Amino acid sequence: MTSTYRVQLTPGFGFAQAASLVGYLRELGVGYLYLSPILQACPQSRHGYDVTDHGRVREEFGGEEGLRALAAEGMPLVSDIVPNHMTVPVPESGNAQLWAALRDGPGSPAARWFDFQWPVTLPVLGDDAGEALHVDGGVLRYHDHAFPIRPGTEHLPLPELLAAQHYRLADWRDSPGYRRFFDVSSLIGLRVEDPEVFDATHAVTFRLVEEGVIHGVRVDHPDGLADPRGYLRRLRPHVPGPLWVEKILMDGERLPADWPCDGTTGYDALNMVTRLFVDPAGRDPLIETFARHTGVRDDYATVRHESKKHVIDLFFRGEVDRLVGDLGDPGLREAVVELLAAMPVYRAYVNPGEQPSAEAEAIIREAAGVAATRTDPAAVAKVADLVLYGPPEAVVRFQQTCGPVMAKGVEDTALYRWYPLACLNEVGGEPDRFGVSPAEFHEFCAGLPPRTMTTLSTHDTKRSEDVRARLAVLSEMPEEWTAAVDSWAAAVSFDPRLDYLAWQSLMAAWPISLDRFTDYLLKAAREAKTSISWLHPDPAYEEGVRDFARRAMDVCGYSVAAFTEVVDRYARVNSLGQKAVQLLMPGIPDVYQGNEITDFSLVDPDNRRPVDFERRRRLLADPDDSWDGQKIRLTAAALRLRARLDPEAPYAPIEAGEHAVAFARGVPGAAAVVVATRLPVGLERRGGWGSETITLPPGRWRDLLTGAGHAGEVRMADLLSAYPVAVLEG
């Protein structure tokens, strides 16, 4: 295992299309092909996380026959699996287990698949329920929805029939009577802690691994499970190859040491690499510009707390009610809410019947200390004790609620409200931590599991790596940025809480179509929930967003393009530097589809657009000296070098001064050195490298990008004369 390349399978890009890439990916230097979920999902799904049938490989991709043909191309495959949830399809008969459970009730074998509260609330109804609900052919129908009818109740009048079912149909805005994925009622949580459910939902995957069709697994959202560690302990014997978990680690947090897996999917590495190219000196002026344009004067911690409280009230009242019920004291509700809002991480791993680890207890006690400043301290202390040592149901439910509150409150709310420098607003990121030093980065690398995944872009990142590379430049030129954005905002304005994010996004994603820009702004406004939300649309406001996007591009497009052209002189340096670092730092590097050259994508679905692989093939065969050509040359050189290195090759920092980061990997005779320029604006302002030197490890070194040889003490100006990075082999 040396590297992975992630492709997003869709109905239009299935196994046959992936197979056609294998030759190209092999030439690029890729080790494993990493696939988005492959089991049967909703037919039109473009992501695959809405699984409907765990017993089949997805037909739209080519089915199991197509998957086997892809495997026969000879590149090992990694599959994304989704143990936490499956979909509530429309019509609901598309999920056989859900249909059986709703028809037959708590006594049904299928009922053990889901975390139900009987009778099960199903939030699907609009204002026309009285007219549109009817029985048709032994099925209860509401528009495209279909629900089973409990045997023996088929001939009752409609009001009595509805009351006799094992479910209750409710307003679409209500909380459902089941655990779900975050706030998405169409994704119903699975009880894989039940051995029969575990076996049924993993049988096809395990068979494909056993037969050598699949070689590794990426586990989606383990924090949603009742017992992530226990799940991985059951999973690991069936997956001897690579096993990664999509675990979001906050700043300074580490993966639990007792999880039997190879590591995370790389957001922790992504955030550290991004910060390495951000100048902390830009913090205060950028925060001041943000506050002046948006009117948001609160610090990030305050915005994060308010955002988490907001989503608890908006989305998770049902989950909180169930948790309070498990605690057995309705008077504890406010304390529960404040403890959830104060949690600093996605989950503190506490298992019923076990002594909590010192780390888990410290996390919850720390959160309780914060929560106690906002409500009754005695109530908070009682809740903290109960979620650590109380009823098993309460312990588990608190753990399973923390993640959704963090994800929706921070990822999908606070990060759209507080964004002085949007490249820091990433999954697992801390947008008020401006930059890390090379020494801090080296310390981080020293603690990484050797086979954890590293990444710069994914299908879930808020913006692609090259968008972040552009934005990082603003930390070095805050005065120039402030002058530019002041002029644009004076010419075109709409909503101060959205406009400043719009200008950052327009510049960093330039050139961008009006449709893409508009769609992004509408999503950003809905996620921020300050003027509109997914639950509370406002057609007039949304038309205002569309008008703003048109005017921003028409009136300011030329100026934005000119500013971006200046930024790109330095963004290219950041782009190549972060790529070299990520591909050769400890861990297994992943390249997200298309990002071997520049990619200026925003949040999904923008980052899941089709990729022009033919252009990439041509560039790989004959790379020019453009940014794209340099990036694909670098990517290929680094990936091919990784294939010659031991994945657990030692990591050794190299002193390189303020404007570079450097390290060595491996042992004499099988070693690599990376030198990457950082903070290029400051480097230029001081007059370049001058007489600065770097001392390479003993031996002769060849630069894989230029072919030049180096040894001993080398002038930085010579080493980095052709590229802002050097990838050396010795």
Give the contacts of 19 (CB within 8 A, at least 6 positions apart): 69, 70, 73
pLDDT of 668 > 90? The answer is no
Structural element, H or E, at residue 146 = strand 145-148
Final residue in a domain of this structure, among 224, 247, 265 = 265
Q: Largest Cα–Cα distance in the chain?
A: 91
Exposure b/e, 346-372, CB count within 10 A at least 16 = b: bbbbbbeeeebbeebbebbebbbebbb
By CB neighbour count within 10 A (0-12 exposed, 13-18 middle, 19+ buried), where does 252 fall?
A: exposed
Say how many residues make up the chain.
730
CA distance 575 to 578: 6
Do 14 and 30 fall within a single domain? yes
Do 260 and 370 fall within a single domain? no
CA distance 69 to 27: 20
Q: What is the pLDDT of residue 137?
A: 87
CA distance 663 to 657: 12
Final residue in a domain of this structure, among 141, 159, 189 = 189
Q: What percent of the chain has pLDDT over 70?
A: 100
DSSP 8-state assignment for residue 671: E
pLDDT tens for residues 596-643? 999 999 999 999 999 999 999 999 999 999 999 999 999 999 999 999
Do 9 and 136 fall within a single domain? no
Place of tokens 């990142």: 461
Do 177 and 201 fall within a single domain? no
Residue 222 domain-assigned (yes or no): yes
Residue 119 domain-assigned (yes or no): yes
Do 12 and 136 fall within a single domain? no
Do 9 and 137 fall within a single domain? no
Give the phi and the psi of residue 695 in degrees, each rounded to 5: -100, 115
Do 200 and 64 fall within a single domain? yes
pLDDT of 667 > 90? The answer is no
Q: What percent of the chain has pLDDT over 90?
A: 98
Nearest to 268 by CA among 429, 402, 424: 429
Any idea what the CATH number is for the domain that residue 37 is in? 3.20.20.80
Structural element, H or E, at residue 571 = helix 539-584
pLDDT tens for residues 443-493? 999 999 999 999 999 999 999 999 999 999 999 999 999 999 999 999 999
pLDDT of 572 > 90? The answer is yes
CA distance 454 to 80: 16
Place of tokens 């290195």: 645
Any idea what the CATH number is for the domain that residue 141 is in? 3.30.1590.10
Nearest to 347 by CA among 528, 509, 221, 505: 221
Final residue in a domain of this structure, among 392, 416, 440 = 416
pTM (predicted TM-score): 0.96
Do 411 and 303 fall within a single domain? yes
pLDDT of 141 > 90? The answer is yes
Q: In what order do the strands lie in the sheet with 145-148?
A: 133-136, 139-142, 145-148
CA distance 585 to 642: 10
Domain total in the chain: 3
Using DSSP, state whether 459 is helix, strand or coil: coil
Q: Rounded to 5 degrees, what angle do the CA atoms 558, 560, 563 make?
A: 110
Domain that residue 101 falls in? 92-189
Do 129 and 247 fall within a single domain? no
CB 578 within 8 Å of CB 631: no
Cα–Cα separations (whole angstroms), residue 583 to 31, 205, 632: 12, 29, 12
Do 103 and 79 fall within a single domain? no
